[in-house]
Structure 1
Amino acid sequence: MRIVFFLLSLSQLSGQNITPPALSTPPSNLPAQQIGANDLLNVTVYGAPELSRTIRVSPEGMIRMPMVRADFPAAGKFPGDLEAVIATALAQEQILIDPVVTVTVAEYVSRPISVMGAVKQPLTFQAFGNLTLIDALSRAGGLTADAGGEILLSRSQPGLDGKATNLILRVPVKQLIDQADPELNYALRGGEEVRVPEASKIFVVGNVKKPGAFAMRDNADNTVLKMLALSEGLMPFATDEAYIYRREGADNGKNEIAIPLAKIIERKSPDVTLMPNDVLYIPDNKRRRMTMSMVDRLVTFGAGTASGMLVWRR
């Protein structure tokens, strides 16, 4: 009899409103995100497992619930707002009395962030929680040695006519990373593209110890003296005059610019700023090389005769 009475009590309670158990809340540092098209939702209706299910938001931003005639607009709403909409519809259509609905986002696919260019691991991931530009670069493994002096952040924003426009922000790498400027560490909400262009190069050839192409990250600090330092200095037979080969004009014609290299090194002439893709050429002083070669031969000849070991060859 006690068992029968217990079962009857349960049957009576099933028709009454029962307060559901408290649901776990996400950490405070992960605020709720707006739902977007193609996101995957977990919709739970307490006490009605036939209505609880996993639903994919349509490309139009709508979802459909069983036994409910109309579709629900989900895109642009927060999960809590969608819970209230579903609960109101279930009550108005007399499917449930005072329903309790919980909506959680199982998978975000509407908030991609792409990081590409001169990064170690280009990738695309979904934005969730508090994300910044530094966080996105960290996920991509950081910048490569070929990275340029600025980062291009592309994001859409509503225009005056209501249509979305694409906005490109130019973020200086030196201020963002070296100087840790917080105003440049933009918050990311999804839909952004982070592009890191490779640095332009300056080419140094001729009589230097280490010819090559050198990355140009700061336009104001790429001078002849700096390029000589990067190329580890001049060789012994470099000329006093060097040349810069630069492409200019609409026809991309090559322009030759002579510079007083010896005077620049001696600080008797101002240093010359180089442009992207410039070629700095330091020619060989053939007359000086021949003179030094003759001196070496004479020294060798004198040393041989002084030791009495002169060898005559016919």
Structure 2
Amino acid sequence: MTMEVKRMLINVRTKVSTYVIAVAVFCCVDTALAQTSNERTLHAPDSSSTLSVGSRDYVISPDDLLDIFIVDVPELSRQYRISTTGQLDFPLIPKPIDAAGLTLEAVSLKLRQLLQQSGTLTDPHITINVKESRLHSIAITGAVKKPQIYEVMGPTRIFDVLSLAGGLADNAGPVVRIIRLSTCGQTESINGQGSSTETSRTQQVTTLNLRTLLSSTDAKLNVDVCPGDWVTVPPADVIYVVGAVHKSGGFELTTEHDKLSVMQAIALAEDLKPTARRNDALIIRRNSSATNGRTEIAVNLRNIFAGKSPDVPLQPDDILFVPESAGKKALTRGAEAAIQVATGVAIYRPY
């Protein structure tokens, strides 16, 4: 092998070695940067455990719980409660920060400036999330599967609110009511058949027909529910028929306009028994002004069925009692028993 060839081989080996070393160094640096990035990410607040809030939209309120994260400063990264006066007390900053009424982004910038001015941090990178907000919640009560208070950061559609509560309970009535004690930005007027709005000096009540809401394709009926609203689904009204009938029980009124008469109630109870005292039936109706808290209305079923007397309309929570035994004393005892029986009978829905 000539000297010239040897020199060429040495040059090639030198270049290859240099290239290998450069690649190795690059890989090490890249790995180190990746590890540093991963370490920072591990310290960041878990977004899944905080409320989903857009920093440009959310306005801080008194009593809010904020999750403040400062990159590479774990000593200051924790949760802070806004005071009832709307101020944020932050370590190393002598005066409280007026935070209520500001967005998360505005408070983040203000905190950054104050930390720089105090000489505590030269270039802080701050992220703020809302962990809890007592003023940004809605109460869902009534005939839903999971009635409780839910946190919402902005307007939420009524369908979503009912889904949060697990859907409607079996005894849900025909309407859902939204009670609003404050404004909700720009509200949309609703002219649909399935809703109505009543406004008083202190609150606004919107009533939606659930059957129309669930079956309609009109998006306007799926109205906004706002933080601070109270949503309630009243249980369905019930009329009770007990005594000498084939099917004693409570019968639900499942639409707003459902009304039952005595004859209709007897039909739902699958008619009278042969032993029924048709002349001595009673409607037992709640009456808070009465001595015993109720009014007893005599009903002659024989005359109603014969067309000699008009049919009698019933009201929600009425108990239609048809006695079986003769005698005034037995009838009085029967009325007392009817009230007790009505509290434990099965409730029937018409579908």
Same fold? TM cut 0.5: yes
CA shift for structure 1 position 229: 4.2
Q: Where does 1:113-132 land on structure 2 (aligned, <5 Å)? A: 113-128=138-153, 131-132=156-157
Letter in 2 for 1:137: L
Provide the rounded CA distance (Å) in 2 between the counterparts of 1:205 and 1:51: 68
Provide the rounded CA distance (Å) in 2 between the counterparts of 1:238 and 1:152: 41
Report the equivalent of 1:58.
83
Q: Where does 1:125-140 land on structure 2 (aligned, <5 Å)? A: 125-128=150-153, 131-140=156-165
- Are 1:219 and 1:275, in contact at CA under 8 Å, matched by a contact in 2? no
Report the equivalent of 1:105.
130
Letter in 2 for 1:177: L
Report the equivalent of 1:174.
211
CA shift for structure 1 position 99: 5.9
Question: Which of 92, 96, 107 matches 1:71?
Answer: 96
Matched, 1:262 2:305: yes
Query: Structure 1 residues 269 and 34, CA, compared in 2 at 3 Å: closer, same or farther?
Result: farther
Question: Where does the alignment leave 5 or more consecutive residues of structure 2 unmatched?
Answer: 1-39, 184-200, 327-351
Give me the TM-score of the superposition, normalised by structure 1: 0.62
Provide the rounded CA distance (Å) in 2 between the counterparts of 1:155 and 1:232: 44
- Are 2:244 and 2:276, in contact at CA under 8 Å, matched by a contact in 1? yes
Question: Which of 200, 205, 213 matches 2:250?
Answer: 213
- Are 1:242 and 1:280, in contact at CA under 8 Å, matched by a contact in 2? no
Report the equivalent of 2:241.
204
Report the equivalent of 1:278.
318
Give me the TM-score of the superposition, normalised by structure 2: 0.57
The CA RMSD over aligned residues, in Å, is 4.3
- Are 2:239 and 2:317, in contact at CA under 8 Å, matched by a contact in 1? yes
CA shift for structure 1 position 210: 0.4
CA shift for structure 1 position 202: 0.9
Query: Structure 1 residues 156 and 219, CA, compared in 2 at 3 Å: closer, same or farther?
Result: closer
Mean Cα deviation higher: 234-243 or 67-76: 234-243
Question: Which of 143, 162, 169 matches 2:168?
Answer: 143
Letter in 1 for 2:103: F
Letter in 2 for 1:280: L
Report the equivalent of 2:195.
none
Mean Cα deviation higher: 188-197 or 268-277: 268-277
Provide the rounded CA distance (Å) in 2 between the counterparts of 1:215 and 1:152: 19
CA shift for structure 1 position 249: 8.7
CA shift for structure 1 position 38: 2.9
- Are 1:241 and 1:261, in contact at CA under 8 Å, matched by a contact in 2? no
CA shift for structure 1 position 199: 2.6
CA shift for structure 1 position 47: 7.2
CA shift for structure 1 position 167: 3.8
- Are 1:30 and 1:130, in contact at CA under 8 Å, matched by a contact in 2? no
Question: Where does the alignment leave 5 or more consecutive residues of structure 1 unmatched?
Answer: 1-20, 159-163, 287-314
- Are 2:145 and 2:169, in contact at CA under 8 Å, matched by a contact in 1? yes
- Are 1:223 and 1:271, in contact at CA under 8 Å, matched by a contact in 2? no
Letter in 2 for 1:217: T
Query: Structure 1 residues 157 and 65, CA, compared in 2 at 3 Å: closer, same or farther?
Result: same
2:305 match: secondary structure: helix
Could you report, residue by residue, the CA deviation over 1:259-288 in whole angstroms, capped at 9, with x for unpaired residues?
A: 654357xxx9986542112233456699xx
Determine what percentage of the aligned residue pairs are the same residue: 30
CA shift for structure 1 position 102: 3.1
Query: Structure 1 residues 184 and 246, CA, compared in 2 at 3 Å: closer, same or farther?
Result: farther
Report the equivalent of 1:17.
none
Could you report, residue by residue, the CA deviation over 1:13-33 in whole angstroms, capped at 9, with x for unpaired residues?
A: xxxxxxxx9x9xx9xx96443
Query: Structure 1 residues 219 and 129, CA, compared in 2 at 3 Å: closer, same or farther?
Result: closer
Report the equivalent of 1:5.
none
Letter in 2 for 1:232: E
Matched, 1:194 2:226: no
Query: Structure 1 residues 226 and 84, CA, compared in 2 at 3 Å: closer, same or farther?
Result: farther
Report the equivalent of 1:245.
283
Aligned length: 258
CA shift for structure 1 position 214: 1.5
